[in-house]
Amino acid sequence: MTFILIKTVHLFAAFIYGGFLIVDNLFLVHIKEAYSTEEHKQIRESFMKYVRKVVPPSLIVAVLTGLYLISQVYGTIADEGLTRFQMLLSLKAFLGIWLGLRGFLQVYMGIQPLVFKSHVLPFAFVITIIFLSQFMYI
């Protein structure tokens, strides 16, 4: 029961973070085309005011619950090496931990990323994580 509850919380938190990246990368970028620079800045700041309250904690929850879930399903490493499932899960974990560290350092520690300042790379990582989660069990 605990596993299912934590998995549900994990999925919900991941949907919040991933949903923000989808909206930001696919929709908010087009606001620039319809509004002036000043209006775009006001619209984006209005949106981000609410995002900053919800998305960073959701990312941290997604990473922490993901680490718990990995500890429950990873299994032992056989003499032959990692299974396909373990390799894909490891890659998924690496991307998730990278996103979590980047988000934590940026939001809570005030350390801005040196490269990849936009949300395009995190968006690509989230899409990759989604595909990996679908192919892990095949």
Question: pLDDT for 101-119, tens place per residue?
Answer: 999 998 899 888 777 778 8
**Every domain of the chain and the residues it spans:** 2-135
* pLDDT reading at 120 higher than 80: yes
How far, in Å, CA of 113 to CA of 111, rounded? 7
Q: What is the pLDDT of residue 37?
A: 87
How far, in Å, CA of 99 to CA of 105, rounded? 10
Interval 24-48 mean pLDDT: 87
Q: What is the pLDDT of residue 10?
A: 97
How far, in Å, CA of 128 to CA of 97, rounded? 14
**pTM as predicted:** 0.88
Q: What is the pLDDT of residue 40?
A: 86
Question: pLDDT for 53-83, tens place per residue?
Answer: 999 999 999 999 999 999 999 999 999 999 9
Q: Cα dihedral angle (20, 26, 32, 33), rounded to 10 degrees?
A: -160
